[in-house]
Amino acid sequence: MNRRISFILLIALLVGVLATPASVFAEDIKDPSDIAKVLIYTENGVDIPANKSKVNCEIYIVDEKGGAYETVHGENCTVNVRGNSTSSAYKKPYNIKFDSKTDVLGMGKNKKWSLLANCYDKTLIRNAVVMDFARELGVPYTPDYRFVDVYVNDKLQGSYVIIDSIEVGETRVDIDVDNNEYLLELDWNPQDPDCYYFYSWNESMKFAINEPELEDLSETQKKYVTDLVSKAENALRSGSIAEVEKYFDIESMAKFYLTLEFFRNIDVATSSTRFHIKNGKIYGGPVWDFDLSSGNYNVDYYGKGTLEQQFHATSMKWFRELVKYDDFQSVVNENFLKMQDTIVNLYTDNTLGLNKIDTLIDKYGASFERNNTDAGWAPNVVHHASMQLERHPDKTYEENVEFYRNWLKERNEWLLEEWGLTSFIELGDGADITLDGYYIYGTTDKTTAGDIVSQIATKGASVIGGSELKEGDIVPNGSIVTVGGVSYAVILKGDVNGDAKIDQYDYLLVMREYFDTVTLNEVQFRSADINGDGIINQYDYILVKRHYFKTYDIYKK
């Protein structure tokens, strides 16, 4: 074949490719990939208007490759821009609505769903971290979510979180609006025509009744809510916790306050702060909208105090009064200490395993990279035309993550000090045991719980091995030492199965790990690594076996 004919065939091939309809290539986008996807196709391919008006659309929701859920396809759907300040950012958040209740990625059947763009948060993970934290803590009706890549008319918009919309429903805020129960929001934003608004605390706070909506709300119901809030605020001023407990559910309010205060949500007194009325009392939650939290706020906009370690949730007057009551603060403190292992694990590895930040990045990092490169949302750029609410970003994604990690650590330590709580262990002078992160080394098969406690300078330490160990009990591998908050795991070399003795069962476990027929967990692995070289091999097996037969002492200095 001569060159001229080859060239003509090449041109014909290129023309054929260019002439192929886009829809042929677009089909590939519906195939599962490394993350779930939301594909939105607007009617006639129109843009989604910034004025929040709805447009008709078709929606596909595709689970990740190997995921558990079949593709969702909705034909008669709507989409619109959502949010307050976020609606004017370049990367738009959206509301989507199916024409019938639809289960999205296992989160339950509902019509309405929100797509949070996390446009102010360069790490892209603040909302997810808070939702998981609040759910574990027990804040009522914490929304469920999934990370997704969002495409509009086949164009990648970036990394989003698809999340429960805040509304009444069996899988959302499960209250009975037909039986005098209500969803409230503290909100100074422009009025929603579907909501009834009222003022409280000498007109310094503005609330919306989100549900029931205005058209379904009677004058009697309006009066009931405003009277209840007025009585509750009078109780807060009374100085009597017994009076306060008549109108507020203390447990939920304490957990809600702790979440807002620890992560330092900047909007707590102005917007996106929700409560609900149930059984004649005011409850805290659900949580919502934490992209402007954890140090991520612009000092030029909010004021220099926002970058300092100080209390902030108390700027909401209910919380300002509640923390004056010892009974309320004690519930906050109790829950704060209970969550210490989880809190520490947000920013660093501990006995719970790989830290939360790295876990999320390991799982969704490819999506975050596409967000920053393919979708064009560079992590060092403010993607807003007229204002900057978030902190001045660092140059790289990694630097923004590191700021977040350090901020969480400093916030935890600051709050512990401010609330007069002890959580971290300090060893006494001359202690034989040592700390390696959140693991304790230096014990032997003769070390008792009393021996360990005597070497800890921090008062109130206890040793738990299934149950709290007595002073003379031998401490097995994997026992937990705590002062009421952070857990430290005891690593007893050679005691791989954690029964406080070294025998044939232990060296057989070491051998099986070496031959890859069993996988040891972190505590077991550290116990089996006798020579401390970070790997398990025949030398570790031989040393444990020789210790069992008393021809070698693995605890000798």
Range of the domain at 368: 346-418
The pTM (predicted TM-score) of the whole model is 0.92
Does residue 298 lie in a domain region? yes
- Separation between Cα atoms, residue 264 and residue 275, nearest integer Å: 18
Cα Rg of the chain (Å, integer): 28
Do the domain assignments include residue 17? no
Q: Are residues 191 and 299 in the same domain?
A: yes
Nearest to 211 by CA among 86, 112, 102: 112
Indicate whether 196 and 307 sit together in one domain.
yes
Q: Are residues 98 and 40 in the same domain?
A: yes
Q: Are residues 511 and 379 in the same domain?
A: no
Residues 382-405 have pLDDT tens digits of 999 888 999 999 999 999 999 999
The three-state secondary structure class of 273 is strand
Are 181 and 312 part of one and the same domain?
yes
- Running DSSP on this structure, what letter comes out for residue 154? T
Q: Are residues 217 and 260 in the same domain?
A: yes
The one-digit pLDDT tens for each residue of the chain (557 residues) are 454 444 444 444 444 444 444 444 445 899 999 999 999 999 999 999 999 999 999 999 999 999 999 999 999 999 999 988 888 899 999 999 999 999 999 999 999 999 999 999 999 999 999 999 999 999 999 999 999 999 999 999 999 999 999 999 999 999 999 999 999 999 988 888 999 999 999 999 999 999 999 999 999 999 999 999 999 999 999 999 999 999 999 999 999 999 999 999 999 999 999 999 999 999 999 999 999 999 999 988 898 787 788 999 999 999 999 999 999 999 999 999 999 999 999 999 999 999 999 999 999 999 999 999 999 999 999 999 888 999 999 999 999 999 999 999 999 999 999 999 999 999 999 999 999 999 999 999 999 999 999 999 999 999 998 888 999 999 999 999 999 899 999 999 999 999 999 999 999 999 999 999 999 999 999 999 999 999 999 999 999 999 999 999 999 86
- Give the count of domains, the chain: 4
Query: Please, are residues 489 and 508 in contact by the beta-carbon 8 Å criterion?
Result: no
Q: Comparing C-alpha atoms, which of 495, 434, 445 is closest to residue 474?
A: 445
- Indicate whether 143 and 189 sit together in one domain: no
Domain assignment of residue 375, yes or no: yes
